[in-house]
Chains A and B, each alone.
Chain A
Amino acid sequence: QQQVKQSPQSLIVQKGGISIINCAYENTAFDYFPWYQQFPGKGPALLIAIRPDVSEKKEGRFTISFNKSAKQFSLHIMDSQPGDSATYFCAASLPLIIQGAQKLVFGQGTRLTINP
Chain B
Amino acid sequence: KAGVTQTPRYLIKTRGQQVTLSCSPISGHRSVSWYQQTPGQGLQFLFEYFSETQRNKGNFPGRFSGRQFSNSRSEMNVSTLELGDSALYLCASSLYPSDGYNSPLHFGNGTRLTVT
Contacts and interface: CB of A to CB of B under 8 A. Distances in A.
B35 to A, nearest CB: 8
Interface centre among B100, B101, B103 (most CB of A within 10 A): B101
B33 A45 contact: no
Interface string A65-97: 000000000000000000000000101010111
Query: Main secondary structure on chain B at its contact with chain A?
Result: strand
B48 interface: yes
Interface residues of B, number: 28
A106 B44 CA distance: 7
Contacts of A97: 100
A101 B50 contact: yes
Contacts of A102: 31, 33, 48, 94, 97, 102-103, 105
Interface of B: 4, 31, 33, 35, 42-45, 48, 50, 55-56, 58, 90, 92, 94, 97, 100-110
